[in-house]
Chain A
Amino acid sequence: MTDVVKTSPQQPAPGAAPPATPPPPASTTPEGMVALIIDGMALTVKKGTNVLEAARTLGLDISAFCYHPGLPIVAQCRQCLVSVEKNPKLQPSCQQLCGEGMVVHTTDPQSTLARKQQLEFTLLNHPIDCPICDKAGECTLQRMYFDHDNADSRVDVPKVHKAKVVDLGPTIVLDQERCILCSRCIRTCDQVAGVHQLEFAHRGDHEILTTAPGAQLDNPYSLNTVDVCPVGALTSKDFRFTMRAWELEATPSVCNGCATGCNIEIHHKNGRAWRLVPRHNPDVNDYWMCDEGRLTYHPLREHRLVGAIVDGLPAGWDRAIRAAADRLTPALASARGSIGVVLSAQYSNEDNFALAKLAKAWGVTNVYLAAKPDVPSRADGKLRVADVNPNRAGAQLIAESLGLAAKPTVELSADVRVLVMLGSELPEIDDAKLRELDIIAISTHEHGPVANAKVALPASAWAEVSATVTNNKGHVQRMHPAFPAPGQALAGWEAVVRLAQATAAKLGYAHAREVFKDMTSAVPAWSKLTWAREARPLALRFAGSRG
């Protein structure tokens, strides 16, 4: 929540009796704001803020399971009960809106006991699964119990057993014993995907989460339910039993699956990504991302180009650059029209800018923009769009700003004999034509035209570089390197710089930051952008539970 003004930040001693409450400063509250007191601390929040969010801005930890800032409030877990003065009963702080002059206590004996007892109830039939549970280490239930209850079990009757492996759909497996019935997943399907696919069935300690009649959990946003699940009930088939959460490290990045550019965290370990999870950004993706985007980390390890290739045989960088220069130099000297340069909507702003700049330095006019073809069936008016290229907007803007007319590759000029291309996409060009071309490719992957390239230079993929991409709304978003690139791969712009040096073109960048700086001065729309410091991977075991 925003617009919070702390007026009295002193902390009360833990366990102390609720302090005497000073009269709230009713008359001075600005328009649209309300003043209240939580645990003796006065604060002013925007009207409509709930007590839970207000308390969190003070650093108070009110436990909650069913509350999620991105979902409708149902107040059904009863875990966030607090005492509100002049109110005979405890109030769920997620549902209770802040009122003018309200006096709230979160640490008084009554609400402390309520939360403690609620946790005892929640754990009543919870299975002893932590050692084999995917959520262990990032589990909200574990954290809540340790922080707010931490008492011994008093149960001497057998636990109620339910189904352990329920296949809910193509992406998710449910463990009904672990489920604490918070309904976050049901609301996520309703709210984010807009389909009602999950439901509660039965009553009392027989109550279970299950699919709605005739439905399957198969919406394209289904894996968000795994993120919001406060326990390990819903597990992703993709991630399940592969890696312990506390062993992972998180690096902020941007999904390269489509033009939306959802903000994500790469969770990685041992030089590879294990899963992608959404990162909150109210301007782009809020708390969510689509299932397809989540699986885009797999190609980072498939069909990668790990070393330079000349005429189909492995070569070192130096020989490959020489081979490329041997093909380019005569053409540059006599027939510039026979050289084509292909920018890529799949690659970062920096890579595209460096290559566009090189085309400009060469005086090449045959400039194209390669992109994966649109997938109209993807577009759903939510996060998924038809354009499956992460950086079409950026590549186009760069070409325009440098005065290059980037044509679609289908309009490839018949004069072109040597094609310097970024990426592995050359849609709508037939094989016969491809065979006639001398292709010099800078690519992360070894497929498509790269397989037939005369010279192929290995490039780092999006999870391995410091770079930016521009989404369909024009947001230039930063990606940070999570792990090193495989083999001899270098950042795309770095390969371009080497090509430039071999062809005596003036292009000298030593760091992505320099490319970015040059780019922001060349692209007027980006003139105010600045390069942030590289984010260091955050070990999740230091981050504590984030459930």
Chain B
Amino acid sequence: MAAPSIPDASGRSLKQLVLGRKDVQDLSDTEQELAPDLMTVNMGPSHPAMHGTVRIVLTVDGERVVAGDVQPGYLHRCFEKESEHATFTQVFPYTDRLNYVSPMINNCGWAMVAEKLMGLTNEIPKRAEYIRVIVSEMSRMTDHLTCIGASAMELGAFAVFLFFLKAREWMYELLEKVSGARLTHSYVRIGGVGKDLPDNFHADLTLCLDQTVKVLAEGEGLLNNNKIFRDRMAGIGAMSRADAIATGCVGPIARAAGLDYDVRKDYPYSVYPEVEFDVPVGTTGDCYDRYLVRIEELKQSIRILRQCLAQIPDGPVMVNDHRVALPPKQATYNTIESMIRHFKHIMDGIRVPAGEAYAFVEGGNGELGFYVVADGTGRPYKAYVRSPSFVHLSTAAQLIHGHLIADVVPIFGMINMIGGECDK
């Protein structure tokens, strides 16, 4: 029912005066095109195509992104502040929840910063160091498999997602055998690792790697020369080498942009100097290069794992230092000395001498660093985590600028923002 139109002095209808615009049928042909105004679209914080819980307020001109306001923080858990109230050992479960797709690497980073403060860096038993590298590389594989699988799915390639998550699950099952937990392992300890590898681990991992190689071939066959996939990835969200350096990008993103930086090579830690591997570097810095770098890193991780399995020595998995090593249960229950040490380690925490240190590892997304100020007690005075996801997310607004709304999805997928790590 049309409202009666009472023209006023200027000839505008009441409706025009009230609504400030015309009905569609009142518009001229040219006016019927989309209004030239910019539109605001809310992406996230909860959205199936968003990696993690993050909100992007997009300003779009039609389908083209003019500006993106990226708002992280929905997964903030006060990691750094909480750590001040936990003993050094109690922080491990918190690190699991940083990049929860590769918690073993986070565990290693935290252990390393405490060991650095205690002067234990070179005292860790060889076997423990090999185990750390093995579980780290397995974690890197789960991280990359998830990233690629999920990104492919978001572009419609659902089969790849299923294949890659199948392979990831093999890894998770193995890591569960190692640590007792599928996802939040809390396996590494200051001075070594929590326990030795389970029986039959060599055979299990070898089988797992052999199968994963096949899965990777399948995935690559489905994606590498897939026209849709390449159209959606190649040339999208490109970043120059200079930009990567300027913004502090690390890991696969920086390497795809041609920056040859890998903590494992440039600041070698653990037993990485004892294994051979290559660091893939891209040229264009676009989403497709990021994908290729990750695929190649998966292959390099398999290479590292096979070498580790061949080289890992027998021996203890915990440093024989009473400052950090829990006494064996037998001794704890039967001697007062071990009982007291056990009590002190659990209740007061491993006493880390006063000082400050920064230790960093190559995480799934690049340099993951822990900076700790210790005051000589069993708890960190201050803990800071340099989380690669947070740095990478800060470039997201730049990367999506000028692209279509649909491109936000692969760009965001390849940034691989992990909420737990980004929001700390």
Contact = CB atoms under 8 A, between A and B. Distances in A.
Contact of A153 (B338, B344, B377, B379): B338
Interface residues of A, number: 24
A153 B335 contact: yes
A130 B331 contact: no
Contacts of B327: 152
A123 B337 contact: yes
8 contacts: A127-B336, A130-B339, A130-B340, A142-B343, A146-B351, A152-B322, A153-B331, A541-B347
Contacts of A143: 344
A81 B348 CA distance: 26
Contacts of B335: 128, 152-153, 155
A542 to B, nearest CB: 8
Interface string A487-511: 0000000000000000000000000
A524 to B, nearest CB: 45
Contacts of A545: 348
B338 A152 contact: yes
Contacts of A152: 322, 327, 331, 335, 337-338
A131 B336 CA distance: 11
B323 interface: yes
B343 to A, nearest CB: 5
B331 to A, nearest CB: 7
Interface of B: 322-323, 327, 331, 333-341, 343-344, 347-348, 351, 377, 379
B322 A130 contact: no
Contacts of A142: 340, 343-344
Contacts of B322: 150-152
Interface in A194-219: none
Nearest to A137: B347
A246 B347 contact: yes
Contacts of B337: 123, 145, 149, 151-153
B348 A128 contact: no
Contacts of B343: 130-131, 136-137, 142
Contacts of A151: 322, 337
A152 B343 CA distance: 14
Contacts of A126: 336
B257 to A, nearest CB: 45
Given A150-B322, A152-B331, A153-B331, A128 B339 contact: yes
Contacts of B339: 128, 130-131
A150 B339 CA distance: 11
Which 9 pairs show the lowest CB-CB distances between chains A and B?
A153-B335, A146-B344, A153-B337, A150-B322, A126-B336, A130-B343, A142-B340, A128-B339, A145-B340
B331 A128 contact: no
A123 B335 CA distance: 9
Main secondary structure of the interface of B (DSSP, over half): helix
Contacts of A542: 377, 379
A544 interface: yes
Contacts of B331: 152-153
Contacts of A150: 322-323, 341
Nearest to B334: A128
Nearest to A543: B377
Contacts of B340: 123, 130, 141-142, 145-146
B265 to A, nearest CB: 34
A288 B280 CA distance: 71
Interface string A141-168: 1110110011111010000000000000
A314 B339 CA distance: 54
B255 to A, nearest CB: 42
Contacts of A130: 336, 339-340, 343
Contacts of B341: 145-146, 150
Contacts of A145: 337, 340-341
A145 B335 CA distance: 13
Nearest to B87: A541
B76 to A, nearest CB: 24
A153 B327 CA distance: 11
A544 B348 contact: yes
A432 to B, nearest CB: 60
A14 B403 CA distance: 60
Interface in A238-257: 246
Contacts of B333: 128
Nearest to B377: A544
Nearest to A127: B336
A542 B347 CA distance: 10
A338 B407 CA distance: 86
Contacts of A149: 337
Nearest to B332: A128
B336 A153 contact: yes
Nearest to A14: B353
A145 B351 CA distance: 13
A145 B377 CA distance: 16
Nearest to B321: A150
Nearest to B353: A14
A417 B116 CA distance: 77
A246 B347 CA distance: 8
A542 B351 CA distance: 13
A544 B351 CA distance: 11
Contacts of A127: 336
B105 to A, nearest CB: 30
A533 B94 CA distance: 34
Q: Choose among B323, B336, B339, B351 the residue with the greatest number of A CB atoms under 10 Å from its CB.
A: B336
Nearest to B337: A153
Given A150-B341, A153-B331, A128 B336 contact: yes
Given A145-B337, A152-B335, 16 more contacts: A128-B339, A130-B339, A130-B340, A130-B343, A142-B344, A143-B344, A146-B351, A149-B337, A152-B337, A153-B331, A153-B337, A153-B338, A541-B347, A541-B348, A542-B377, A545-B348
Contacts of B344: 142-143, 146
A118 to B, nearest CB: 14
B325 to A, nearest CB: 11
A43 B336 CA distance: 38
A130 B335 CA distance: 11
A494 B335 CA distance: 57
Contacts of A153: 331, 335-338
B330 to A, nearest CB: 12
Contacts of B379: 542
A141 B343 CA distance: 12
A127 B351 CA distance: 25
A126 B340 CA distance: 11
Nearest to A152: B337
A145 B339 CA distance: 11
Most B Cβ at <10 Å: residue of A141, A145, A151, A155: A145
Nearest to A246: B347
A544 B349 CA distance: 10
B336 to A, nearest CB: 5
Nearest to B335: A153
A127 B341 CA distance: 14
B160 to A, nearest CB: 50
Contacts of B334: 128
B120 to A, nearest CB: 15
B419 to A, nearest CB: 31
Nearest to A126: B336
A61 to B, nearest CB: 11
A207 B357 CA distance: 49
Contacts of A544: 348, 377
Nearest to A147: B351
Contacts of A155: 335
A146 B338 CA distance: 10
Nearest to B378: A544
Nearest to A141: B340
A29 to B, nearest CB: 32
A545 B340 CA distance: 13
Nearest to B351: A146
Nearest to A541: B347
